[in-house]
């Protein structure tokens, strides 16, 4: 059985996803050096990233294979926050995430988002496991608190949410059904948005994967998708990095709407979903120094 | 603002940071308590160690049937080796927790709690 990691990176005007992917892949190489990492991107992103010679060299070093595919442009504007005081809009290209089933060269694949930085080899445990598809069900912020209800349920009387930040699957009939249904949900987003009653019009892969899981499971929550053990640790978009102490050692600022509750937090030895992408890019050099 | 109030609020921030850091140590230890064995992921607990240990003492060659972290049952033929792995994982995680807690005990300021420059 072949196994490996994969990630998507499509640059937009505001966010350099190639740089984010470089950091995420370097972390994978540091903690699980024997497992190959494949990047899925497009010509434009590679071109932008390759402008500097030093970055051109990084491509070979960071990824074992680069797959080029350009999804059809579909407007999908997402509001991002960069810490507590700044927000901006950016195109979010995620409409072909479900295509990964056909793109992967591996029998067992873990797809991670480019803002998911591993700080341990825990994900390796998923390979060869008992589930054909696995994702995170539970998440925990920097303060060890659960996310808001809208990040746990699609609707207060609806279904639980699965995080598509990390998706494990083994090539199998079940996984094929899952990704096919995911594609169907994406193609009929307006209908499913109405049916599952979640707010907003942004195409969220967390929601699409959650609906696909629910449909594949016979419209129940019966264990079709395996739970990745424990929680997914995340840094909120309101939070920021204060200091990079090491490749898996961070001092962060955890911000709340009530400023007097803001605190510094040290996270060590854990995998972490850094939702404030610009905080990674601001600290790109110091993070990369720690990765090598 | 009155200095007494400023100091009290700074102390409150220190207490919040300290408590969050304690929880963060627990969260890290939780991840370290995961053991990948026999293509299954187990959460190592004292009760699991106790159960496996008693089975190994009673009949070391007996196949064990143990529930993994998501409720699937795994059959374990090398129970002694499994016990050894459980103990190693548990000790390593708890040693880290002990060391981190010792560091926290000495931290009397917000900066030192998180080890900032």
Residues of chain A with C-beta less than 8 angstroms from the C-beta of B114: 251, 264-266
Q: Given this model, what pLDDT does residue A78 score?
A: 83
Q: Given this model, what pLDDT does residue B59 score?
A: 92
Q: How far apart are CA B76 and CA B48, in angstroms?
A: 13
Nearest CA in chain A to B70: A227
Tokens read off for A59: 């491509």
CA end-to-end span of chain A: 29
Q: How far apart are CA B31 and CA B42, in angstroms?
A: 11
Nearest CA in chain A to B19: A143
Interface of A with B (CB under 8 A): 120, 122, 124-125, 128-131, 140, 142-144, 223, 226-227, 229-231, 233, 242-243, 245, 251, 254, 260-261, 263-270
Q: Are A13 and A278 in contact (CB under 8 A)?
A: no
Test B27 with A140 for CB contact under 8 angstroms.
yes
Q: Given this model, what pLDDT does residue A222 score?
A: 87
Q: Given this model, what pLDDT does residue A33 score?
A: 97
Instruction: Count CA atoms closer than 13 A to A275's CA, side-chain side.
Output: 23
pLDDT at B117 over 80: no
Q: Are A182 and A212 in contact (CB under 8 A)?
A: yes
Contacts of A232 (CB under 8 A, 6+ apart): A136, A138, A139, A140, A163, A165, A166, A271, A273
| CB nearest A243 (choices: B26, B36, B116) | B116
What's phi and psi for A156, nearest 5 deg?
Answer: -60, -25
pLDDT at B1 over 80: no
Angle of helix A17-31 relative to helix A284-291, nearest 10 degrees? 20
Name which of A236, A241, A266, A267 to mutate to probe chain B: the one with the most chain B Cβ atoms within 10 A of its Cβ.
A266
Name which of A121, A130, A134 to mutate to probe chain B: the one with the most chain B Cβ atoms within 10 A of its Cβ.
A130
Tokens read off for B99: 């060391």
Shortest alpha-carbon distance between residue A132 and chain B (Å): 13
Name residues 29-88 of chain B within 8 A of A (Cβ). 30-32, 34, 36, 39-41, 43, 68-70, 72
CA dihedral (B89, B90, B92, B96) positive or negative: positive
pTM score above 0.90:
yes
| Structural element, H or E, at residue A70 | none
B117 close to A (CB below 8 A):
yes
Residues of chain B with C-beta less than 8 angstroms from the C-beta of A120: 31
DSSP state of A98: G
| CB nearest B24 (choices: A144, A229, A243) | A144
Q: Given this model, what pLDDT does residue A140 score?
A: 97
* Other CB atoms within 10 A of residue B54 CB: 9
Tokens read off for A201: 């019009």
Q: Are A143 and A233 in contact (CB under 8 A)?
A: no
Strand-pairing partners, residue A265, are A252
Q: Are A53 and A90 in contact (CB under 8 A)?
A: no
Mean pLDDT by groups of 10 residues along chain A of 292 residues: 96 94 97 98 93 85 94 83 88 87 97 97 94 96 94 94 98 97 96 93 94 96 92 96 97 90 94 97 96 88
pLDDT in tens, B49-84: 999 999 999 999 999 999 999 888 999 999 999 999
């Amino acid at each position: 059985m072949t196994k490996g990691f994969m990630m998507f990176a499509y640059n937009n005007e505001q966010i350099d996803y190639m740089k984010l992917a470089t950091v995420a892949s370097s972390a994978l190489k540091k903690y699980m050096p024997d497992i190959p990492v494949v990047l899925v991107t497009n010509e434009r992103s590679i071109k932008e990233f390759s402008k500097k010679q030093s970055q051109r060299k990084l491509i070979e070093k960071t990824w074992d294979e680069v797959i080029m595919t350009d999804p059809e442009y579909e407007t999908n504007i997402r509001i991002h926050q960069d810490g507590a005081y700044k927000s901006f809009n950016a195109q979010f290209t995620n409409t072909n995430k479900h295509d990964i089933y056909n793109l992967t060269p591996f029998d067992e694949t873990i797809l991670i988002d480019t803002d998911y930085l591993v700080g341990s080899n825990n994900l390796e445990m998923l390979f060869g496991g008992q589930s054909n598809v696995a994702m995170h069900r539970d998440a925990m912020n920097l303060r060890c608190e659960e996310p808001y209800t809208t990040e746990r349920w699609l609707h207060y009387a609806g279904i639980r949410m699965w995080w598509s930040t990390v998706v494990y699957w083994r090539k199998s009939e079940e996984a094929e059904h899952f990704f096919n249904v995911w594609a169907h949900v994406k193609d009929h987003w307006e209908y499913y948005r109405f049916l599952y009653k979640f707010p907003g019009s942004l195409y969220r892969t967390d929601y699409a994967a959650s609906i696909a899981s629910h449909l594949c499971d016979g419209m129940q929550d019966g264990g079709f998708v395996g739970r990745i053990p424990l929680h997914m640790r995340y840094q909120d978009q309101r939070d920021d990095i204060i200091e990079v102490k090491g490749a898996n050692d961070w001092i962060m600022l955890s911000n709340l709407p009530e400023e007097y509750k803001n605190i510094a937090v040290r996270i060590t030895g854990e995998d972490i979903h850094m939702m404030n992408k610009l905080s990674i890019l601001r600290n790109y050099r110091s993070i990369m120094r720690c990765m090598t | 603002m009155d200095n007494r109030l400023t100091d009290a609020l700074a102390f409150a921030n220190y207490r919040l940071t300290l408590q969050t850091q304690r929880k963060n140590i627990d969260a890290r230890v939780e991840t370290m308590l995961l053991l990948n064995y026999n293509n299954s992921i187990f959460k190592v607990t004292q009760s699991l160690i106790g159960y496996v240990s008693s089975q190994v003492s009673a009949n070391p060659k007996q196949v064990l049937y143990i529930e993994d972290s998501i409720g699937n049952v795994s059959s374990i033929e090398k129970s002694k080796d499994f016990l050894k792995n459980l103990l190693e994982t548990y000790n390593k995680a708890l040693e880290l927790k002990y060391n981190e807690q010792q560091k926290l005990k000495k931290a009397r300021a917000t900066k030192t709690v998180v080890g900032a420059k």
